């Protein structure tokens, strides 16, 4: 199936490291390196949804911000339609940004409280399509509001007058107004009520089919990711540990960390839910400033041995199912 699709985004050995002050050093004169993303690689196909999962602090949002140019990469390449975004200057990036848009986690915080929602949705048009007249802009904004389920007569209202779900619809409209090819959704439903989450996810799926979008959907709720994703990338401590079709990752899980995540996903059947065993991981998530040698998961893995301490596994596999683990069968 993937062989027939066009690859629009190629991420190769992407790393994002931050220099931070060492609070233990005298006068904070020394710096440490926080390794937020480490040598992550994947492809994104035209029209598909790639889910990115992992616990808080694993580098999901930093990965998204690196792809959109909001943070600088420390190494590797990001190829968008064959062009390396890591080598783009500010002017070249401006030409790309209309193709790659982002939906943020906190819907209200991502909207300017001093602007009407009409102005918020229209802002990308003013930047990327300045030739449009005011009437043309207003017409496009009203049409997009209808598309995301907002009444056009609300165009002059302010963000504080809307619910969280409505604010997220405004954010979606703002992202889609310039007709991008890729939408990066950074935990777009985690701040919403469960009943509203399904509405937003279904809206994204509907808009994806209608507009031919590709999505990178970041979340820590595996049930939500399963509902929307074609493929799933699992991250741990800034590293990609498993990648495959959602059926493979959910029903033929290979990595011990992914297995622990899957064991915590609720089961609709009450009897099965009562009898299931959740795999509890021992210890705490290591610091990205001083990650473990070898396999980054070894300090919490029940299968770890000397091989895992000495060497770092890389993503390997077959049938488009990849896992970074020496113990994966």
Identify whether 239 is part of a domain.
Answer: yes
289 domain residue, yes or no: yes
Query: Which residues sit opposite 226 in a β-bridge?
Result: none
**What is the model's pTM?**
0.91
- Give the strand pairing for 321-323 and 239-245: antiparallel
Token code pair at residue 265: 């996903």
Instruction: Give the pLDDT score at 107.
Output: 84
Residue 188 lies in a domain: no
Flag whether 131 is in a domain: no
How many separate domains does the chain show? 1
Q: What are the tokens at 256?
A: 């011990």
Question: What's the pLDDT at 256?
Answer: 94
Chain-centroid distance, C-alpha 177: 20
> Is 236 among the domain residues?
yes
Which pLDDT score, from 0 to 100, does residue 272 have?
64
Range of the domain at 258: 2-47+55-92+221-323
- Digit-by-digit pLDDT tens for the chain (329 residues) are 455 789 999 999 999 999 988 766 555 567 889 999 999 999 999 999 999 999 888 999 999 999 999 999 999 999 999 999 999 888 888 889 899 999 998 888 889 999 999 999 999 999 999 999 999 999 999 999 999 999 999 999 999 999 999 999 999 999 999 999 999 999 998 878 888 899 999 999 999 999 999 999 999 888 889 889 999 999 999 999 999 999 999 999 999 999 999 887 777 767 666 667 777 788 788 899 999 999 999 999 999 999 999 999 999 988 889 999 998 86
d(CA 197, CA 219) in angstroms, rounded, equals: 12
CA angle 44, 247, 42 (to 5 degrees): 20
What pLDDT shows up at residue 29?
A: 62
| Residue in 9, 78, 8 with CA at minimum distance from that of residue 37 | 78
CB atoms within 10 A of CB 288: 21
**In a domain? residue 263:** yes
What pLDDT sits at residue 22?
A: 73
**pLDDT at position 103, please?**
95
Is 110 among the domain residues? no
CATH code of the domain containing 28: 3.40.50.300
Q: What is the pLDDT of residue 25?
A: 59
Asked if residue 9 is part of any domain, the answer here is yes
Angle at the Cα of 52 from the Cα atoms of 235 and 82, rounded to 5 degrees: 100
Contact (CB, 8 A) for 286 and 237: yes
């Amino acid at each position: 199936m993937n062989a027939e699709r066009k690859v629009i985004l190629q991420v190769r050995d992407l790393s994002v490291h931050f220099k931070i002050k060492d609070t233990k050093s005298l006068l904070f004169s020394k710096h440490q390196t926080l390794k937020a993303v480490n040598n992550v690689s994947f492809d994104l196909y035209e029209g598909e949804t790639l889910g990115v999962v992992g616990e808080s602090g694993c580098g999901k949002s930093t990965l998204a911000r690196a792809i959109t140019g909001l943070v600088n990469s420390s190494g590797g390449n990001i190829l968008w339609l064959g062009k390396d975004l890591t080598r783009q200057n500010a002017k070249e990036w401006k030409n790309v940004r209309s193709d790659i848009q982002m939906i943020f986690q906190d819907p209200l915080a991502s909207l300017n409280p001093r602007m009407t929602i009409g102005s918020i949705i229209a802002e990308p048009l003013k930047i990327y399509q300045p030739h449009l007249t005011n009437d043309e802009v207003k017409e496009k904004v009203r049409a997009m509001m209808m598309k995301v389920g907002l009444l056009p007569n609300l165009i002059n209202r302010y963000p504080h007058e809307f619910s969280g779900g409505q604010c997220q619809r405004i954010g979606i409209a703002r992202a889609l107004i310039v007709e991008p090819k890729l939408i990066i959704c950074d935990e777009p439903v985690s701040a919403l009520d469960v009943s509203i989450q399904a509405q937003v996810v279904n809206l994204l799926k509907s808009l994806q089919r209608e507009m031919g979008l590709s999505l990178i959907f970041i979340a820590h709720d595996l049930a939500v990711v399963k509902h929307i994703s074609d493929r799933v990338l699992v991250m741990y401590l800034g590293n990609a540990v498993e990648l495959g079709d959602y059926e493979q990752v959910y029903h033929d899980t290979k990595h011990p960390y992914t297995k622990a995540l899957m064991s915590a996903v609720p089961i609709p059947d009450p009897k099965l839910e009562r009898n299931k065993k959740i795999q509890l991981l021992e210890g705490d998530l290591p610091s990205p400033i001083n990650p473990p040698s070898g396999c980054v998961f070894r300090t919490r893995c029940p299968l770890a041995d000397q091989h895992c301490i000495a060497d770092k596994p890389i993503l390997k596999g077959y049938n488009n199912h990849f896992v970074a683990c020496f113990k994966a069968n």
